[in-house]
Structure 1
Amino acid sequence: MARRALTTTAVTLTATAALLLTGCGGGDSQSDDIKGADSGPSSPSASASSSAAPEVKRPVIKLPSSFQLTFENWTSSDPVEQAVLNDAKEEIRAGYAAIIENDPDSEAVAFYDTEGVRGQTKEWIRSYTDKNLTVIGKLPTFNPKVNLAKTGKGASLSYCTDESEAKTRNRATNKAEGNPAGTDPYVLYSVSLAKNEQGVWQNASVHSERGACSK
């Protein structure tokens, strides 16, 4: 269930017949990118970045209990790093919420993505919705690491996901599928972010590599 690498260069996405919560992007056949999100194991929950600037109204993003996207140790004592983590987390949540809601034109995704990558994120979402698929199960994200640019306007983030219990489900038949047998469930993501004029940290690129991390 991974996302492929998101970059500002146009990339052709291929959707796997199984799930691979892969996101958008380009790279070799061994790399995938993913988006994940929520931390609530119970009924649909809403979340907003706690460090958001008071004048910025973040979108409210809801995920159902059927898809438990959790974030382990996504905290930092540095307020700027925490702001990066918060917005990056919401971007992940927005992508999966768009799949679940069958909404490739999600306004929340547009809010957290730079203009250069929105089209590619939309293609990733449509790789599910065009096949009448949604996502279910559990998708933990862990080991986040943030590096801030000296300019204060850019940042990089890496994190891992475990797709062992994540699946796709056909909306019409209710048939659920996980990754193909033998697929490494761990995916390493490398994300670059840019701070816009409103103070929102937006995704500018995403690259993933399956099997590059473990728990």
Structure 2
Amino acid sequence: MASPGDGIARPRITLPRGDQLVFEPQGTGDARTDAVLRDNAEYLRAVDEAIGDREPTSKAVAFYSTGSAYLDSVEWIGGFVEDGATVTGTVRYVDRRVTFDEDGSAGLTYCGDESKGYTKDRKTGKTDVTPVTKDSYVFYNDRLRKNAKGVWQVTKSVSTRGHKACRP
């Protein structure tokens, strides 16, 4: 993703080979809302990059998250490292909706369609193509706060697999 031109020195993120993340909508036309959507997308890209690089304490993940979201990400990424796995395929993040609270934080809800996203064994190179079930669809409810640099960091993320709001 190109730099948004906001003057913030952002980490360059490269997804693992064969991994693709799609975000809809990418923008709404509202600058503040679009900044939240953009930084959240970069957070998700940073997590996949860290899985590919086998780097649970990735600087890019720390750039786009803090608090329990960062700690949960380190644990999530560590699980892939421990299992000798990486990510591949396409995950779509759709129906992304932002609300702003009086305290300056933002709420972001969205659905993750993992029906074409897979894990791959690093040693064998074999992709684990799993059948599509209701658990292939994940509802996310994230909390973000703008830090002193102007980055909307994920501070908390709660996900629910198989949530009816996200199933086709």
**TM-score normalised by length of structure 2:** 0.90
Secondary structure of residue in 2 paired with 1:184:
helix
Deviation at 1:72, TM superposition (A): 2.0
Normalized per residue, the structure richer in helix is 2
Cα deviations by residue, 1:179-210 (Å, 9 ceiling, x for unpaired)? 46645321111100011111110001111112
State yes or no: 1:172 paired with 2:129.
no
Normalized per residue, the structure richer in strand is 2
> Aligned partners of 1:112, 1:72: CA distance in 2, in Å?
19
> Aligned partners of 1:202, 1:49: CA distance in 2, in Å?
16
> Aligned partners of 2:151, 2:27: CA distance in 1, in Å?
17
Residue identity opposite 2:91 in structure 1: L
Secondary structure of residue in 2 paired with 1:130:
helix
Q: Which residue of 1 aligns with 2:136?
A: 185
User: For this pair of structures, how many residues does the alignment match?
Assistant: 166
> Aligned partners of 1:93, 1:116: CA distance in 2, in Å?
18
Q: Which residue of 1 aligns with 2:167?
A: 214
Q: Which residue of 2 aligns with 1:127?
A: 79
Matching residue within 61, 66, 70 for 2:22: 70
**TM-score normalised by length of structure 1:** 0.72
Residue identity opposite 2:64 in structure 1: Y
Secondary structure of residue in 1 paired with 2:44:
helix
Deviation at 1:71, TM superposition (A): 1.0
> Aligned partners of 2:2, 2:12: CA distance in 1, in Å?
6
Q: Which residue of 1 aligns with 2:106?
A: 155
Residue ranges of structure 2 left out of the alignment (5+ in a row): none
> Aligned partners of 1:190, 1:120: CA distance in 2, in Å?
14
Aligned 8 A contact 1:48 1:58 in 2: no
Which structure 2 residues correspond to residues 1-215 of structure 1 after superposition, within 5 A?
Answer: 47-50=1-4, 53-54=6-7, 56-151=8-103, 153-179=104-130, 182-212=133-163, 213-215=166-168
